[in-house]
Amino acid sequence: MERSLILLKPDCVQRRLMGRIVSRFEDKAINIIAMKMLQVTPELTKQHYAEHVEKPFYPALESFITGAPVVAMVLEGLEVIRVVREMLGATNGLNAAAGTIRGEMSSSRQMNLVHASDGPEAAAREISLYFRDEEICSYTPELQRWLKADDE
């Protein structure tokens, strides 16, 4: 099992797309094991996007992410990091394939609705930035035997 940190970004919250995007993860039988709304601070943005702090677009990114509340989630599932990034599509909504979340709902590079961790190390680091251990509720869904075979 893998875990990934997901942010429903301010554009997603403001556009009232939270429910539709959460539904897509639930429909895919991915487990949501932590979830909260919060106002991200500039300090947290710098930690989260540490690799982008020196990039020219960083000031705009910080202003966007801190401009309205976000919803942070931890998703758990088999190969969930890759699976969720494929569900999101390319970073720029204009380039995202039809059928992906961004392909269907975003036409922007910055306002691309959802952040998802891009690898296991990033996931561990990002989850610890947004959640304390006791806020994560790993559980086995009652439906588990209808979601995947025992040997998967």
Tell me how far apart the alpha carbons of residues 10 and 83 are, in angstroms, rounded to a whole number. Answer: 23
Asked whether position 91 contacts ligand CMP by CB under 6 A, the answer is yes
Catalytic residue among 115, 117, 123, 126: 115
- Strand segments (E) across the chain: 2-8, 31-38, 70-77, 114-116
**Binder to ligand CMP among 109, 122, 125, 135 (CB under 6 A)?**
109
Handedness of CA 118, 58, 52, 71 (dihedral sign): negative
Tokens coding 132: 């304390």
Tokens coding 91: 């970073």
| Region of 31-39, 71-79, 105-113, 128-136 interacting with ligand CMP (CB under 6 A) | 105-113
User: Applying CB under 6 A, what is the total number of residues that bind ligand CMP?
Assistant: 10
Q: Which CB sits closer to ligand CMP, 29 or 69?
A: 69
The pair phi, psi for residue 61, each rounded to 5°, is -65, -45
Asked whether position 115 contacts ligand CMP by CB under 6 A, the answer is yes
Asked whether position 29 contacts ligand CMP by CB under 6 A, the answer is no
Site mask for ligand CMP (CB under 6 A), range 61-80, x = bound: x-------------------
Site for ligand CMP, residues 31 to 60, rule: CB under 6 A: 49, 52, 57, 60
Q: Which CB sits closer to ligand CMP, 77 or 115?
A: 115
Is there a catalytic annotation at residue 115?
Answer: yes
Residues 78 and 152 sit within 8 Å (Cβ to Cβ):
yes
Residue 90, helix vs strand vs coil: coil
Q: Hey, which residues are catalytic here?
A: 115
Residues that bind ligand CMP (CB under 6 A): 49, 52, 57, 60-61, 91, 109-110, 112, 115
